[in-house]
Amino acid sequence: MSSDEHTETGTGWPQPAGPGRPAGPAGEPDPRPEAPDPDELSPLAPERSEPSVVEPGGDEGATVDLGRAAGSGGSSAGSPRRRVSSAGVMIAALLALLGFTLVVQLKSTSTDPTVAATRQEDLVRILYDLNSREVRLRQDIAALEESQRQLRSGEQGRQAALEEARRRADELGILAGTLPATGPGLAVRFEAGEKPISASRVLDAVQELRGAGAEAMQISGGDRASVRIIASTFFLQGENGSLVVDGRRLTGPFTITVIGDPATMRTALNIPGGVVASVTGDGGKLIVEDREAAEVSALHAPIKLEHARPVS
């Protein structure tokens, strides 16, 4: 190899001389095999290198020269340095559509006066009201279905309703004193001592018996006259130890016949400081006897109402 064709480098490597390889120090060529052209590194170079982008999905060394790709429109579409990815275009379109949808939704929500003015407490109250209304409607539906079932039962339903009405009328008749009654109960006899039996002692006994569950009562005098005791019955002190009950005069001794639970009514009369103790303190005597079938036969005339009316 002659000296005219090659120039020896300082490292002993042969380096061809030419315009593309600048000389090293002291006129020697650059020992770097991959050294760039000095004109490319000079800030006064007439042309700048165009930026390049690494192609997604391609090789690590494959790049797309944007400046050259724009200038060479007649190149092949299959070239990896100029081809635009279809997946990137699709992703960009989807992101733009999503952004547009979010903007429209936020704008419509912010401009809705009803949603903006409604508080959380109001929403909870509205939900509670709806649930309560649903419960009431379900109860109404169940009641209507039961009524429909009873109406469809025909003669059996009408017979049951008639029997229920009769039973209710009998109960009201006994409470009002217009019907006689019989059942287990007590016979309470007042015997006067040094003092006559006062009307207040008889009234105390009636109230104690009512509180103990008495269902029907009548009071009888020594002359066998009887008066039915109802809610409106009054007691007045008469002459010579007599009593005036609902305007009728009765003489002693007095006997109250009552229908109810015997044990409960006896306990009520014998409480400390009660009727038995009061009558005994006045010098009299109160005799209480159980009756398996006490009979209350005295009747009270029906009361004609002048002011009270049933609620429709």
Closest by CA to 198, choosing from 296, 288, 281, 289, is 281
User: In this predicted structure, what is the pLDDT of residue 235?
Assistant: 94
Tens-digit pLDDT profile for residues 33-69:
554 555 444 444 444 444 444 444 444 444 444 444 4
How much is the mean pLDDT over the chain?
Answer: 76
The bridge status of strand 226-229 relative to strand 216-220 is antiparallel
- Give the pair of three-digit tokens for residue 59: 């090789």
> Which amino acid appears at position 99 of this protein?
G
Tens-digit pLDDT profile for residues 106-163:
766 555 555 555 677 777 777 888 888 888 899 989 988 887 787 777 667 778 788 8
User: In this predicted structure, what is the pLDDT of residue 265?
Assistant: 93
Alpha-carbon distance values, 51 to 44, 48, 64, 66, 240 (Å) = 18, 9, 9, 6, 136
User: In this predicted structure, what is the pLDDT of residue 158?
Assistant: 78
Alpha helices (runs of H) in 177-261, residue ranges in sequence order: 199-211
Comparing 140 with 32, which gets the higher pLDDT?
140
The count of C-alpha atoms lying within 13 angstroms of the C-alpha of 59, restricted to the half-sphere facing its C-beta, is 4
Q: Beta-carbon neighbour count of residue 221 at 10 Å?
A: 19
Above 60 in pLDDT, residue 98? Answer: yes
Above 90 in pLDDT, residue 185? Answer: yes
Q: What is the pTM of this model?
A: 0.50
Above 60 in pLDDT, residue 293? Answer: yes
Q: Which residues of 173-196 are buried (b: 16+ CB within 10 A; e: fewer)?
A: ebebbbbebebebbebbbebeeeb
User: In this predicted structure, what is the pLDDT of residue 2?
Assistant: 42
pLDDT band at 178 (very low <50, low <70, confident <90, very high): very high
DSSP state of 27: G
- Give the pair of three-digit tokens for residue 5: 């064709």
User: In this predicted structure, what is the pLDDT of residue 51?
Assistant: 46
Above 90 in pLDDT, residue 189? Answer: yes
Query: What sign has the CA pseudo-torsion 80, 82, 86, 89?
Result: positive
Span 247-270, average pLDDT? 93
Tens-digit pLDDT profile for residues 60-82:
444 444 444 444 444 444 444 44
Across-strand partners of 290?
A: 186
Tens-digit pLDDT profile for residues 197-247:
999 999 999 999 999 999 999 999 988 899 999 999 999 999 988 999 999
Element (H, E) at 7: strand 6-8
User: In this predicted structure, what is the pLDDT of residue 108?
Assistant: 66
